[in-house]
Amino acid sequence: MVSVSQSSSNEPEVRRIAGCDVEISEAGSGRPILFLHPMIGLQGAEPVLAALAAHGRVVAPSHPGFGRSARPAGCDTVDDLAFFYLDLMDELDLREAVLVGCDIGGWIAAEIATRSTSRVSAVVLSGATGIRVGDRDVQDLADIFALPKAEVDRLSFHDAAHAALDIAAMSDAEVTALARNREATALYGWSPYMHNPKLRQRLHRIAVPALVLWGAQDGFAPPAYGRAYAEALPKGRYDAIENSGHYPHVEQPDIFAARIGAFLEAAGLSGRATTSNVRSAG
Where does this chain touch another protein (CB under 8 A) — which range of 87-95, 116-124, 167-175, 244-252? 167-175
139 binds another protein (CB under 8 A): no
172 binds another protein (CB under 8 A): yes
186 binds another protein (CB under 8 A): yes
Nearest residue (CB) to another protein, 6 versus 197:
197
Where does this chain touch another protein (CB under 8 A) — which range of 49-57, 187-195, 203-211, 272-280? 187-195
Where does this chain touch another protein (CB under 8 A) — which range of 154-162, 179-187, 219-227, 237-245? 179-187
Longest dimension (CA), the chain: 50
Q: Tell me which of 1, 138, 161, 167 binds another protein, using CB under 8 A.
A: 167
H-helix or E-strand spanning residue 166? none
Strand, helix or coil at 126?
A: strand
Q: Tell me which of 10, 83, 90, 145 binds another protein, using CB under 8 A.
A: 145
Is residue 39 within 8 Å of residue 104, measured between CB atoms? yes
**Burial class of residue 56 (count of CB atoms within 10 Å of its CB; 0-12, 13-18, 19+):** buried
The dihedrals phi and psi of 279, each to the nearest 5 degrees, come to -70, 150
190 binds another protein (CB under 8 A): yes
Q: Tell me which of 7, 8, 159, 175 binds another protein, using CB under 8 A.
A: 175
Is residue 101 within 8 Å of residue 36, measured between CB atoms? yes
Is residue 213 within 8 Å of residue 241, measured between CB atoms? yes
136 binds another protein (CB under 8 A): no
